[in-house]
Structure 1
């Protein structure tokens, strides 16, 4: 446990969730989009595991990493052009192969019934994020949905978290960030929030090494993790 000044002294009144690797397993859809993009340049496909290692930092960074992994790295305006080509392809691959992570609906229902405000803060584009959440009927639980193109700086900057909290009317010290990657930790720290990470997400670095306040095996462990955070405050 990384004990810091951002620990809550009581249960937080709001929880912000990352999306990819936290609420949804979207790697197969993202891989399908990447491979459609690469096929348009006569480049070989990448595996889902390869693409999973590239997730984080937004679509532009995904495109850059994919072409580098294919042996045809891009630079400058070529990245921007590939990103423009990727945009409609990405939108065609949002929910076909994507699935909810374990226990998502049960846990969101639990916190909703307990009166905890919830939101999503992700680097995924806003419209794509909303379409996915609508597809899985999760929007009814969420008072704020902030995508990466709704803010100036992507995570690990705190912009998305701070905007989501402003929409919920909650101060950072009275909220918790739940994610799966170093970007989530960095954003939470910059916003002045405690952060819990989940195993099984899209980080290539072991979650125990990312500096979160607590690490959970799944979302089902989140209520007890919050109790532990409160006890350690």
Structure 2
């Protein structure tokens, strides 16, 4: 990666979303949500219906899952159900989850080039670290900022700004790589250039998310100019 989108220079750091960007966690998330719904006497939703529910944190995922059955959850009942979801999901968070193709090679090449990197996700911090460790990437991402870190979650800019601060890099000199409207919204609000992958968890076409560039997969992270590289598939 040689340049910031539109600015003709290499970023000083790269921030990555986790679910839908680095990892395909849909099978484990959907399975855990369906198990929770089943315990409450509701039918399973399946991966296709759960896919667009991902990206705004555990509470929102659980809330959307129950809303699909016409059940409104909020406040303390939602918090309790989210805790039950975590108890189901976290012990098996990498049972079916996989890194997306070319992710490991790309981030290791960036690390070898001296690029500071971090993960900024709405997923809880501890399980995010555990997932990265399970895939042998803990050394690549010493900074992991999750949705339980304290500040408001994406699409608010706060988590992104905190992550840049922990890396010691001005937000405008970072690059964010994500997959969703929340990622683009957070990066834009933080004043950070943003790339989206073409395969993530969004009901909106990646080309319509308003990012500087859409990439088909992580091999295109080495392409410097916005709009360059292979077309998203």
Q: Given the two structures, how large is their TM-score scaled by the length of structure 1?
A: 0.92
Query: What is aligned with 1:149?
Result: 148
Q: Deviations over 1:112-137 (max 9, x none)?
A: 11111111000000111001000001
Residues of 2 paired with 1:123 and 1:70: CA distance? 24
Whether 1:93 aligns to 2:92 is: yes
- Unaligned segments of structure 1, at least 5 residues: 1-5
Question: Do the aligned partners of 1:8 and 1:174 also contact (CA within 8 Å) in 2?
Answer: no
Query: What is aligned with 1:59?
Result: 58
Question: Do the aligned partners of 1:17 and 1:178 also contact (CA within 8 Å) in 2?
Answer: yes
Which 4+ stretches in 1 moved above 6 angstroms?
none
How many residues matched? 225
Question: Do the aligned partners of 2:123 and 2:147 also contact (CA within 8 Å) in 1?
Answer: yes
Residues of 2 paired with 1:124 and 1:24: CA distance? 12
Query: What is aligned with 2:215?
Result: 216
Query: What is aligned with 1:3?
Result: none
Residues of 2 paired with 1:40 and 1:194: CA distance? 43
Query: What is aligned with 1:118?
Result: 117
Residues of 1 paired with 2:226 and 2:141: CA distance? 23
Q: Deviations over 1:151-194 (max 9, x none)?
A: 32000111221111111111111110000011110010111100
Q: Given the two structures, how large is their TM-score scaled by the length of structure 2?
A: 0.92
Q: CA shift at 1:7, angstroms?
A: 4.2
Question: Do the aligned partners of 2:31 and 2:46 also contact (CA within 8 Å) in 1?
Answer: no
Residues of 1 paired with 2:227 and 2:47: CA distance? 38
Q: CA shift at 1:230, angstroms?
A: 11
Query: What is aligned with 2:180?
Result: 181
Query: What is aligned with 1:81?
Result: 80
Name the SS for the 1:208 alignment partner: helix
Residues of 2 paired with 1:97 and 1:230: CA distance? 33
Question: Do the aligned partners of 2:62 and 2:81 also contact (CA within 8 Å) in 1?
Answer: yes
Residues of 1 paired with 2:162 and 2:208: CA distance? 27
Residues of 2 paired with 1:35 and 1:230: CA distance? 39
Q: 1:230 to 1:29 in 2, by over 3 A?
A: closer
Question: Do the aligned partners of 1:172 and 1:193 also contact (CA within 8 Å) in 2?
Answer: yes
Residues of 2 paired with 1:77 and 1:164: CA distance? 29
Relative to structure 2, which stretch is displaced further, 14-23 or 76-85? 76-85
Q: Greater helix percent: which structure?
A: 1
Output aligned runs, 1:127-206, within 5 Å.
127-206=126-205
Whether 1:228 aligns to 2:231 is: no
